[in-house]
Amino acid sequence: MKTRTLLVIGLCVVGVLSLPARGEESGAADTQEKLKESLVYLEVSSYGYDPRMPWRHTDISQRSCYGCAVGEYEVLTTAWNVRDSGFVKVRKFGQNEFLRGEVKVVDYESNLCLIEIDPNEAQGAMKPVVFAPEYEKGAEVQCYWLSGDGRMESGRGFIDRAEVYKSTASFEKFVNYVVANVSQRTSLGQVYCLGAEAMGIACWTNDNKEAGLIPAETVNRFLEDVEKGGYQGFGAVGFVTTELIDPAMRSYLRMPQSVKNGVYVNEVYSLGTGSDVLKVSDVILSIDGLEIDSHGRFSHVEYKELSLEYLVTSKRAGEQIVFGVWREGERAEIPAKVKGTRAGEMLVPYYEYDRQPEYVVTGGFVFQKLTREYMQQWGEQWAGRVSPHLYHYYRDMAFKPSDERRDIVILSYVLPAEINLGYQDMGQAVVAKFNGVTVRSIADVSAAQKANPDSKYDVVELEMDNPKVVIPREQLAGADAMIARNYGIGKLANVAAED
Amino acid sequence: MNDVKRVLFSAVVVLVVSVGLVFGGEVKGGGYDESVVMIRSVKQDYDYVTPWKQTAMSQGVGTGFVIDGKRILTNAHNVSNYRYIELKKVGVAKRYPARVAFVGHDCDLAVISPDDASFFEGTVALEFAGLPEVNTTVSTYGFPLGGTDISVTEGVVSRIQMDSYSHSGADSHLVIQTDAAINPGNSGGPVMQGGKVVGVAFQGLRQADNIGYLIPTTVIEHFLKDVEDGTYDGFGSMGVMLYPGLHSASYKDYLKVPEEEDGVVVIETMMHSSVEELLRPGDVITRIDDYDVDNDGMVEIYGLNLHLSEVVEGKQIGEKVGVTIYREGEKKEVMATVALNRPVLEYSREYDKSPRYVCFAGLVFTPVTRNYLETWGSDWITDIPFSLRYLFTNSMQLNTDRERKEYVVLSEVLADEVNAYSGGFKSGVVESVNGVEIWSLGDLNKAFKERGDEFYVLKFMGDTRALSIDAKKARGRQQVILQNYGVPAGARLEEQL
């Protein structure tokens, strides 16, 4: 009730709001003062790779963002802030010089990153911020950060709700606190406090004056796990559900009238939690004893209605989870192990931050691993523009790699040279076989180049009615050297070692 | 990045080549007043989402001309989906109602006949010439925008090549390009040289100035010969996908083609095509009839360098074409039959046919056609749902069912208690009903007639969910739904012309 009253006042009488706010001002000033020893300004030089020319870096760009101390020489920020970082510079309050930051652990799924500073260069220890798992719907919160020009900045807003959101940097969904009516746009690691307690860091913002926070519970679990060493990350959801409100569908699944809850499993991945135990057409009735409703939500003690993804992604990889399901006309309790999903394991990776894309250039034919970042070259509407055959592997198969197929390898395009006359317009085609060997990953291309040693040619077979590509081996060495020189390719292949 | 841009650009260009146009400095009179006629038509298209309905009517003006046999030749797009046509002679006030005798939507040509044969009194039939020389002058006659009198514009033949015909959106034939700008109303008008017709004005390029296109007499003669037997069959093809890859000496050697031979590589034959048993991937076509094929797939024909499909274009459906191939190093001669050879998901727009549908439980199903996809608007190719885009682009590769006649889509949901949870499945392509695969609208209609199961469980392509419909309830609600929404029948399985 208290929450509702506050909201109504907030809408009608803006002037009145300043009264309680003023009352807290001294508290906020104190908090800001204390945080001087904890907040840092970060400048990240981003230096990724060009997905079109994976042998080449993109232009360097600078990113301004924010962090806070979580150890004497350790800084917490979002993973999104440090993606593709070439160099991280850290500046403390009251200092002119930048310190070199070293990314110690980055987890794009939970969107958190821990940066270390060399104690010998740090000119004194920082004061760690302690994150307290506080959630009070409707409460006013303050946010703080150290700006690029060395000032302590602040803003405020109100805790509106807790909701499950897709991580800014990744495919996984985590709980975020949503702060409404924010006075400043915050999404870059600013620290939000409820009174004197830090309660989360900012990770997204939108045009409705809202900001998303990675809450203390996620931050603390991340920090604990990093501390323990051998960081494993959080659980990932290994299945897709769809609401089950249609009585005809419930009746088709032979669910008794008395069972009103449960959500339909319409897809099971080969990665992530539940992928090894759930089946399509299961109905998830509960997770760890918490009842799941027909929209796929459960009731959280503090956050109230929340999407079921939370029950997986708030756990550590390796922990236990129990699915209560309706399967083939009966109830069943199915225990499973919580599993994480790394982007690199996906058939079509969601992202490839911090690493050079895999490729092989031979005879001017550019073979690459298909990734979401690769397809994003087609602009904002890439999903509607990229070749549908390529997109289908991402849309329908991204989380379903198998032993037969770990990556999708494509002939991206052809660098014109005499050796590839007749093929120069080809591209965007999926490689099926190289010298008769089924291609399951880029590494297979490298290996297959050594197959059939007596053959005059390398022969590439492509999916979907494409010609066979025939490359004369005799001319290859000379042509490759010429192509590398002509097109400025330092390294003709980048093949990752087996995971 | 260049490659990417080009791909996107080419997709755009195909869509931009558009409706009939011609305009220019108008010259009064011209000597063909007895032959050139104005065509006014009233059209009404079908609604492809709720196919028992028709859209609002529209009116248009085009041009036609008298040819032998008391016939008037014009563009198909002037008279497609017509409800009423009237003709007007130059300088004569009287209007003559007319009807379409033959229409070829694939070549954008139509023959129309006035109901009153006295129309032809005082008219002069025009004769046809062959292909004009490039860089010679031609005159276009017609009734373009900006006036009601006949207009004459002059232009130069810029080039002659194969290009797409925008009326159907997917067919390609020989075209003559001229620098006479073409405007709406000119369509169907004769283009003259030396007193004879060398083409029919039919389309322009929207993005460019002064690029107009004519249908050459090779195409016109094919059309007129085709209709001699009283029906129009259309242009055929060989039903084969070719790739000009023999510029690669290695590919040529790998396919065991002698060094001195040129040709194009067969990548795949279309399912059910007339060459399915004759040709196979890896064959190399070096000669077609008496024409040598070069490494670009071009032949020397009519004194021009044109794609080998021009040899097939000259033939009627059912005629033979001689094909010389190399297979595994061996030279072979095969005789291929020219046939329609259309893909399972037709790329061309259809006209003059009331679309088929099945309406059951308030769920409206219709075949996936280009017309249906174009209901998404001008950016339909990027805006349509993924499964439809994938099928439209790759149906020939994706379809492995020899029994399949078409793809069937849930085009609309007529809201009712029996389908209250079906909204999320709209625009889905039906894969199966109760585990039985759906290969045609007829299959679907049959599936809904099955009374064995308590539920109809529908699966859609590229969708892991299932839609379950209570069978008994659906049958009970059928008449009520049809009545509520004014649907004339539960199904229309035959096209009505």
pLDDT band, very low/low/confident/very high, at B16 (cuts 50, 70, 90): very low
CB contacts of A251 in chain B (<8 Å) are 455, 468, 470
| Digit-coded pLDDT (tens) for B279-326 | 999 999 999 999 999 999 999 999 999 999 999 999 999 999 999 999
Nearest CA in chain B to A50: B1
Residue of A nearest to B253 (CA): A470
Of B243, B390, B462, the CB nearest to A467: B243
3-state secondary structure of A240: strand
Mean pLDDT of chain A: 92
Chain A positions in Cβ-Cβ contact with residue B393 (cut-off 8 Å): 387-389
Residues of A in contact with B455 (CB under 8 A): 248, 251-252
Spatial separation of the C-alpha atoms in residues B235 and B219, rounded to whole Å: 9
Tokens at A486, concatenated: 């002509």
Tokens of residue A407, six digits: 């990556």
Alpha carbons A213 and A224: distance in angstroms, whole number: 19
Q: Which residues of B touch A264 (CB under 8 A)?
A: 465
Which residue reads 């990153």 in tokens? A113
Q: What is the mean pLDDT of residues A431-450?
A: 95
Q: Find which of A56, A394, A466, A473 to mutate to test the B interface (most B CBs within 10 Å of its CB).
A: A466
A246 touches chain B (CB under 8 A): yes
Q: How far is B380 from chain A (nearest CA, A)?
A: 10
pLDDT band at B357 (very low <50, low <70, confident <90, very high): very high
Task: With a cut of 90, say whether residue A498 has pLDDT above it.
Answer: no
Closest approach of chain B CAs to the CA of A116, in angstroms?
38
- pLDDT tens for each residue of B433-480: 999 999 999 999 999 999 888 999 999 999 988 999 999 999 999 999
Question: Position of tokens 């439809």?
Answer: B388
pLDDT average, residue stretch A457-482: 96
pLDDT digit string, tens, across residues A131-178: 999 899 999 999 999 999 999 999 999 999 999 999 999 999 999 999
- Nearest-by-Cβ selection for A422 from B245, B462, B466: B245
pLDDT range class, residue A93, cuts 50, 70, 90: very high
**A385 CB-near residues (< 8 Å, 6+ apart):** A378, A379, B8, B382
At A497, the pLDDT band (50, 70, 90 cuts) reads confident
Q: How far is B271 from chain A (nearest CA, A)?
A: 13
Alpha-carbon distance B308 to nearest alpha carbon in chain A (angstroms) = 18
Q: What is the mean pLDDT of chain B?
A: 91
The pLDDT value given to residue A5: 39
Q: Is the pLDDT of residue B2 over 50?
A: no
- Cβ-defined contact of A466 to B468 (cutoff 8 Å): no
Name the residue facing B247 among A245, A396, A421 (closest C-beta): A421
Pairing, β A211-215 against β A197-205: antiparallel
Query: Two tokens at A70?
Result: 């979580």
Nearest by CB to A248, from B249, B282, B470: name it: B470
Closest-CA residue in chain B for A425?
B3
Distances (CA, A) of A218 to A129, A336, B271: 15, 22, 56
Confidence check: pLDDT of B7 > 70:
no
pLDDT at B412 over 90: yes
What is the pLDDT confidence band of residue A460, given thresholds at 50, 70 and 90? very high
CA-nearest residue to B266 within chain A is: A467
Q: CB-CB: which of A381, A389, A465 is closest to B268?
A: A465
Q: Which residues of B touch A245 (CB under 8 A)?
A: 421
> How confident is the model at residue B30, as a pLDDT?
54
Going B18 to B20 to B26 to B31, the CA torsion angle's sign is positive
The distance of A456 to chain B (nearest Cα, Å) reads: 9
Please determine, for residue A16, whether its predicted confidence score (pLDDT) is greater than 70: no
Which residue reads 């969107």 in tokens? A111
Instruction: Give which of A461, A366, A370 is closest to A408, Cα–Cα.
Output: A370
Active site residues of B: 77, 108, 187
